[in-house]
A and B are shown apart, each in its own frame.
Chain A
Amino acid sequence: GDSVTQMEGPVTLSEEAFLTINCTYTATGYPSLFWYVQYPGEGLQLLLKATKADDKGSNKGFEATYRKETTSFHLEKGSVQVSDSAVYFCALSGPSSGNTPLVFGKGTRLSVIA
């Protein structure tokens, strides 16, 4: 079945450091790909998404590019802030219909220190 693999955390960075969180997937066809973020004590929020190969999703300084050839969707940010401390989830949605539940990775906890 479809699956998502994320790099294990926790990831600890200093403020203004460059962030990369790796995400690879296994799926039939061409899934849509997402990054969700969960801040402490809150539910998940959609951060960005890409629906086809070579699409780049971006939001709040975060970016991720849908790479079909490497089945990857790595999350990047050029300069992290303390407020970016959260758990980040990579997810995919099967291509067959919009009613297919999202499949999530296990999440990567990011801590940014001042």
Chain B
Amino acid sequence: KAGVTQTPRYLIKTRGQQVTLSCSPISGHRSVSWYQQTPGQGLQFLFEYFSETQRNKGNFPGRFSGRQFSNSRSEMNVSTLELGDSALYLCASSLAGDIGGGKLFFGSGTQLSVL
């Protein structure tokens, strides 16, 4: 069974640009969560989508947005990039209703560098 796939693996952008990251969950998983990982803050929850609807949202500005498609694939978008957005963005998929049950399956992440 294929794992969670995130693309691209690395991304370099400049301040003010926007970026879109992609995540393909494990087949059959309908929930996709996004986390931002930085050395100083650790993992911070961005949002979670289930059946194309945002079900949970963390404390990030509106520049961070996401969506989920009917095949459960998800994208997140960051507009007007800032230097502080440099981070590893992790996507995790899970079966319905289980994002708090510890059965999260993570991708390898997209390393975003903002110059």
Contacts and interface: CB of A to CB of B under 8 A. Distances in A.
A46 B93 CA distance: 13
Contacts, number: 67
Interface string B75-115: 00000000000000010100001111111101111000000
Nearest to B45: A101
A101 B48 contact: yes
Question: Chain B: interface residue count, which band?
Answer: 20 to 34
A45 B112 CA distance: 21
Contacts of A102: 45, 99-100, 102, 104
A107 B33 CA distance: 19
Please give me the 5 A-B residue pairs with the lowest Cβ-Cβ distance, nearest first.
A43-B106, A106-B42, A93-B100, A104-B43, A100-B100
Interface of B: 4, 33, 35, 40-43, 45, 48, 55-56, 58, 90, 92, 97-104, 106-109
